[in-house]
Homo-oligomer: A and B are copies of this chain.
Amino acid sequence: MQTWLLTDPDSDFSIHNLPYGIFSTKGTKPRAGIALGDLVLDLPALSRLGLFPGIDVQVFRQPVLNPFIEQGIHTRVREAVQSIFRVENRLGWEPLLPTFSHRRADVMLHLPLHIGDYTDFYASEYHATRVGKRFRPDNPLMPNWKSLPVAYHGRAGSVVVSGTDFPRPKGQILQNGKPAYLPTESLDYELEVAAVIGRNTQPGTTVPAEEAEACIFGFVLLNDWSARDIQRWEYQPLGPFLGKNFCTSISPWIVPLDALDPFRVAEPEKEILPYLKTPGNRQFDIRLEVRLNDTVTARTNLADLYWNFSQMVVHHTSNGCNLSVGDLLASGTVSGPDDEGCLLERTEPVLLSDGSSRTYLLDGDRVTLSGFGRKGDIRVGFGEVTGRILPAHDIPLHDNP
């Protein structure tokens, strides 16, 4: 697509992407925007300029994207925004650019969704196998693992937007075989991608495989911060709880499903029950990366997941469980054949560029996840999700700000 707006060819936010977010500028209210190159397009402003006839501007003035997503108008909005930047429309739109855009560096980004429920899967065989080996060397994968996409419910209320730092969590930890209440000594990151649900399903109904993708609005990066010592002591028999729910970070820009079309790839056929079979190319060739401070600690690919996102949707609704717009379905740690998407999988400490090493995260450490697809000239990326570890502290409730 020929456009009159020059964007860096290495920008995640090309004209092929157009991800949605919630932004504000100094003294203004959070509202819907689209990232394009170094700009943020102001959707209420574009609406006032008449770009979206028949769409009430109020849907862009909400502090979250849920109402916009729920209206199912995203394709119209996306096509209208792309049309602005067609070469033949330059004359009409370029002079208006300052009235409907902001420099990305000048805006503040907010959590773009009201997240009703956050589900975390465990869909990478590399991850599940390496983690399993630490507990059961001879039998790392549970018997159910290749039969269904294992998942659990995470905490929706502690999902935060990129840039939110948080204190090292404390919790009950086994120390010399005895439980004690202490700051975690094994704070970890998890490199994940999450689908944002774009459609409400009714309780008691199931989503067939061929319709599963229609329930997905788009994707974000997700860092499922984990305290392994808390998790290890608490998780039997009901799964992870306080080892995970202190903070979960997502990237601010939701990349629409359509933008990932160029990166679809086939996957090896699996022997699974018919209800889980999803014909077509349902995996996405997206390169993912973890940076710990200045060091890249992992490069993996989303297409290496064993279970694809359509299968997650199908399985999630296979018992009649309803999904709602804004729900997150996260992949679980995306590891690869050679790279580990979290520190728990490693058998050796990771070496950093400053000469230090990490078994787990230290106070002050910053972890940044990023990801993009590239095919020919087309690049579509997620931007990043970043967060930093503050020292553990004691702020009891009565001292809350």
Contact = CB atoms under 8 A, between A and B. Distances in A.
Interface residues of A, number: 77
Interface stretch (A22-30, A198-206, A371-379): A198-206
Nearest to A178: B147
12 contacts: A116-B156, A148-B234, A157-B323, A157-B327, A167-B320, A207-B397, A208-B396, A215-B397, A238-B240, A245-B321, A246-B319, A247-B320
Interface string A214-249: 010000000000010010011111111111011100
Contacts of A47: none
Interface in A165-192: 166-167, 169-172, 179-181
A180 B276 CA distance: 11
B273 A181 contact: yes
A394 interface: yes
Contacts of A317: 397
B273 A179 contact: yes
Q: Is the interface of A mostly helix, strand, loop or mixed?
A: loop
Contact of A117 (B157, B208, B398): B157
Contact of A247 (B148, B203, B211): B203
A151 interface: yes
Contacts of A157: 116-117, 322-324, 327
Contacts of A172: 144, 147-148, 273, 318
Interface in A108-151: 116-117, 119-120, 122, 142, 144, 147-148, 150-151
Contacts of A211: 396-398
A257 to B, nearest CB: 16
B320 A246 contact: yes
Contact of A155 (B122, B234, B243, B321): B321
A316 interface: yes
Interface in A358-396: 393-396
A355 interface: no
Contacts of A156: 116-117, 156
Q: How many copies does the complex hold?
A: 2
A154 interface: yes
Given A153-B154, A246-B319, 16 more contacts: A120-B238, A144-B172, A144-B233, A148-B172, A153-B241, A153-B245, A155-B321, A166-B203, A166-B204, A167-B204, A170-B206, A170-B318, A180-B273, A181-B274, A239-B239, A247-B320
A317 to B, nearest CB: 8
Nearest to A208: B396
A95 interface: no
A151 B154 CA distance: 12
Contacts of A170: 206, 318-320
**By CB atoms of chain B within 10 A, which of A152, A160, A207, A397 has the most?**
A397
Most buried by B among A155, A204, A230: A204
B316 A242 contact: yes
A337 interface: no
A179 B274 CA distance: 11
Contact of A321 (B158, B205, B324): B158
Interface in A294-338: 315-324, 327
Contact of A397 (B144, B201, B238): B201
A279 to B, nearest CB: 16
